[in-house]
A and B are shown apart, each in its own frame.
Chain A
Amino acid sequence: MNLGIDLSVTLTDSLADLCQRVNQSLVVVQNGRSGAGAGVIWRSGGIVVTNYHVIHRGRPRVSLLDGNEFTTSVHAKAKHIDLAVLKLEIPETERSALPIAEIADSRNLRVGQIALALGHPWGQLGSVSMGVITSLGRVPLRWRKGAVDLIRTDAGLAPGNSGGPLIDASGAVMGINTMIVGGDQGIAVPSHVINEFVDEALGQAELPVAS
């Protein structure tokens, strides 16, 4: 029985460590009166991904949880998949200091695996909720032809979670929390959809292979 208690303490501690680590790549996206949303530091060069609906009006300002604030330009946006790429306006020399999130391979997700949602529900910065992947699906796009993959989760979401990451048990980002359905189901756009969009936005169809 003692082993059981040690395991659960270790489990609890590692959950807390995980959230603390990934929260370093989580940003607050302020957009005037529209309130706050979240975003993820996705790539080097100050590239942040958030939801289209978080930034679609006004000029977004981005800050880290440590309070460090940046002016930001909207680099690309896509209403039909509710995504936007932001570029933080900071000197080249400081850009490397931004902690980039680890991105999961979201083509191999499984129903029932742990899912943690990070964000700012009701303005509570750096908040975490836990659940599992409820189901994986594909839905028709709005405003244009085609369909898009999505992740459904029972991790509790609220306004302010939009644009924040849905992470797996290793802390890698499986997707961006985008929508709440029926009050108790969260919808996230999977990372492979986001990667395609970011590649397109940055004008590189394929990333150079790291050696």
Chain B
Amino acid sequence: MSNSDGNNLLEGLSKAMADAVEKAGAGTVLLNARRRFPASGVLYDSDLILTASHVVEREDGVPIILWDGAEHTANLLGRDPGSDLAVLRLSNPVSPRAEFAAQEARVGQLVLALGRPTPEGIQASLGVVSAVAGPVHTRRGGLLERYIRTDAIPYPGFSGGPLIDSAGQVLGVNTSGLTRGASITIPSGLALQIAKSLAEHGSVKRGYLGVRSQPVEIPQHQQDGLGRQQASGLLLVGVEKKSPASEAGLMVGDILVGFAGQPVADPDELFTYLTGEVVGRPTAVEIVRAGKLQKVTVTIGERK
């Protein structure tokens, strides 16, 4: 390719990024829910705003400013401090809503962090995806199944705003409320799942099994019995009375190795499977008892 083609490419990329900011910026709102420090939110449905929980200090009549300067108000529907997400409902539907990326962020991908902390206009910073990882225990006692880290600068008021790709599609919601002195991004898939629960129930439903456990090694001959390579499982060291686990007959000393068809190798993994989706549902749990694999059906309760 000639030099001028290269330059056209660079100018093309520059224009694409400005277009992406304009497109996603239209679905990024200013949220005035704490004193003196406005933050940002993502319009994910015509009347629903997803933002960071820690920027929402007042819950009713929260002033919202849209991309075109129009002023609205919204009320808090629910929040999940564990993932630092909150959902607010606008008093009337508006457009356009943000578009979400179908695929998860990839390490090295070009991204832009957006924020609307002032009525002056959209703000953006450039970076790449540094890591996509999880699960991780957050500062507020929650467990985040997955998170994205980037090197884009999180300017003041960017919390609650979107992380977008170069096509203007939302990869996740940015927050500096979960890790001290840094910003992480809750991936779109997880954020929308939590948002759905917040909009419907006002909180995030989580499943309840009623066991205490610790990871243990599974000897090779028992792995043969599982019919798969799985080096560890969860030794049950406590079963709460009248819990779903005890009702189903689980006992101290059982080794939990599978949940709803998925292998379980450590307590975080079990936690991520105990979502609101499985509450009230009879679920197949695989255990090793006295060296033999058994399947037990447990009706999962709700963690209060």
Contact = CB atoms under 8 A, between A and B. Distances in A.
B193 to A, nearest CB: 28
A78 interface: no
Given A112-B20, A112-B22, A134 B125 contact: yes
Contacts of A111: 18, 21-22, 25, 121-124
Interface in A66-105: none
A10 B153 CA distance: 27
A182 B156 CA distance: 10
A154 B1 contact: no
A158 interface: no
A7 interface: yes
Given A14-B9, A113-B18, 4 more contacts: A13-B3, A13-B6, A14-B7, A133-B124
Contacts of A168: 11, 14
Contacts of B22: 110-112
Majority-rule SS of B interface residues: helix
A185 B19 CA distance: 22
A138 B156 CA distance: 18
27 contacts: A7-B9, A10-B6, A11-B6, A11-B9, A14-B6, A15-B10, A17-B7, A111-B25, A111-B121, A112-B17, A112-B19, A112-B20, A112-B124, A113-B15, A113-B17, A114-B13, A114-B17, A134-B125, A135-B120, A135-B124, A154-B126, A168-B14, A169-B13, A169-B15, A171-B7, A184-B155, A185-B155
Contact of B11 (A134, A169, A184): A169
Interface string B114-128: 000000111111100
B9 to A, nearest CB: 5
Contacts of B155: 134, 184-185
B21 A10 contact: no
A112 B153 contact: no
